[in-house]
């Protein structure tokens, strides 16, 4: 949460902790017996407890918080978030039927729950009615509790394309139409552009492999977005469509249900990231809860084995993979929340705990271009931190035990102190 008015003066020193972050892949190991000094919204110092405490004491008054042996990491970053998600079925229909005011409150509640579960930054990749921009302003100003938001605004689709039924997409056609679509989202304040270039699991009259943009349209999206300094991510399933997009300069693939080794190698060569969203093809419990129709459940769950094979191909090729749940980040699922469950799937399917920590924290922040402020536990960066009792380098499931959350220097969750939890 980026709100200076909510930071806790005159400073906080976190002790009794081991600090670890995604820089472990760069050779920066865990720091046991550590302390983290937070002043205002940002980290002032990190190091051995005695040294940090001495520096804080020399600077004046501060409050000490003993984390009782916890592991401290940066907050998680969920790169595939829809706070206004409305899948086919009764649950989705209820969201679609909300008026503007009810939708805003619904999304604000989701943002609060997202932050409390330890996700301190999200990348929204299609939200209804541009309500995400209002929500971001409210969080930034301190009126609403929630994660930092990077957003694509409305996703761009062809007429009748994937997701065209909702107000979270914008129908475009032709080169000029897609150029205008990109510019309209930039005008609204988009940090990136999302485009649907193939069918998916939630479109009744399409298949996962259905091509939905022609080459000149796709080139127009990428060229225009890059001219405005915005990266492009694409909802995409089939290998031939992904290969064409990557060749044109696509920055990120969402899902990638049907990759081939050749296309994965091309992605790795060009630096195109993958947000695999493994949950979406293995979440029957979630679908049942929302009343998702049988046709969609069959398509989704049936795609699961091939989806996992694609993910393995991406890992083997060295593609950068990043955490993204597609399900609401905070959603209770299989004994934890959707963000952690997705990270567990990624880790267990070949990524491993250390790379999973990176994929859930520093990797996404680097893709977002926000590394100067976020993504690691270093002096000068925003104090967006979480604490848990287990070691996330030993087992990714340690994130199930998040019990303390700080956002922008403000403690928003502390289970031991009885503060609210997600």
Distance CA 322, CA 137 (A): 26
pLDDT for 23: 97
pLDDT for 201: 72
What is the pTM assigned to this prediction? 0.95
pLDDT for 289: 93
pLDDT for 130: 96
pLDDT for 4: 39
pLDDT for 6: 47
Distance CA 15, CA 67 (A): 6
**Which domains occur in the chain, in start order?**
4-75+375-417 (2.30.40.10), 76-368 (3.20.20.140)
pLDDT for 202: 67
pLDDT for 9: 52
Distance CA 315, CA 293 (A): 32
pLDDT for 420: 64
pLDDT for 2: 43
Distance CA 169, CA 320 (A): 27
Residues in the chain with pLDDT values less than 70: 1-10, 163, 202, 204, 206, 420-422
């Amino acid at each position: 949460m980026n709100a200076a008015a909510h930071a806790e003066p005159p400073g906080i020193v976190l002790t009794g902790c081991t600090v670890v972050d995604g820089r472990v892949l760069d050779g920066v190991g865990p720091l046991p017996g550590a302390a983290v000094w937070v002043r205002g919204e940002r980290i002032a110092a990190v190091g051995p407890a005695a040294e940090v405490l001495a520096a804080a004491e020399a600077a004046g008054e501060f409050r000490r918080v003993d984390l009782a042996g916890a592991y401290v990491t940066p907050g998680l970053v969920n790169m595939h978030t829809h706070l206004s998600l409305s899948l086919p079925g009764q649950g989705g229909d209820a969201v679609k039927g909300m008026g503007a005011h009810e939708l805003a409150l619904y999304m604000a509640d989701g943002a609060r729950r997202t932050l409390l579960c330890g996700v301190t930054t999200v990348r929204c990749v299609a939200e209804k009615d541009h309500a995400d921009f209002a929500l971001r302003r409210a969080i930034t100003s301190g009126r609403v509790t929630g994660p930092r938001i990077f957003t694509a605004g409305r996703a761009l689709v062809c007429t009748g394309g994937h997701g065209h039924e909702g107000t979270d997409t914008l129908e475009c056609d032709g080169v000029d139409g897609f150029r205008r679509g990109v510019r309209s989202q930039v005008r609204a304040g988009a940090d990136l552009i999302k485009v649907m270039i193939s069918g998916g699991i939630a479109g009744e009259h399409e298949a996962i492999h259905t091509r939905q943009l022609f080459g000149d349209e796709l080139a127009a999206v990428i060229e225009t977005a890059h001219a405005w300094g915005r990266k492009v991510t694409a909802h995409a399933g089939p290998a031939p469509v992904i290969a064409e997009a990557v060749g044109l300069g696509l920055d990120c693939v969402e899902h990638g249900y049907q990759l081939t080794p050749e296309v994965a190698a091309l992605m790795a060569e060009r630096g195109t990231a993958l947000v695999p969203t493994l949950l979406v093809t293995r979440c029957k419990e979630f679908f049942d809860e929302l009343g998702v129709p049988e046709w969609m459940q069959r398509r989704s769950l049936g795609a699961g084995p091939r989806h996992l094979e694609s993910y393995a191909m991406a890992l083997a090729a060295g593609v950068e993979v990043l955490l993204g749940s597609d399900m609401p980040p905070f959603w209770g699922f299989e004994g934890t929340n959707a963000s952690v469950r997705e990270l567990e799937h990624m880790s267990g399917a070949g990524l491993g705990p250390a790379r999973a920590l990176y994929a859930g924290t520093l990797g996404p922040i680097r893709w977002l271009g926000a590394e100067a402020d976020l993504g690691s536990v270093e002096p000068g960066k925003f104090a967006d931190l979480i604490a848990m009792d287990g070691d996330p380098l030993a087992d990714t499931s340690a994130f199930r035990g998040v019990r303390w959350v700080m956002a922008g220097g403000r403690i928003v969750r502390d289970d031991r102190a009885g503060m609210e939890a997600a």
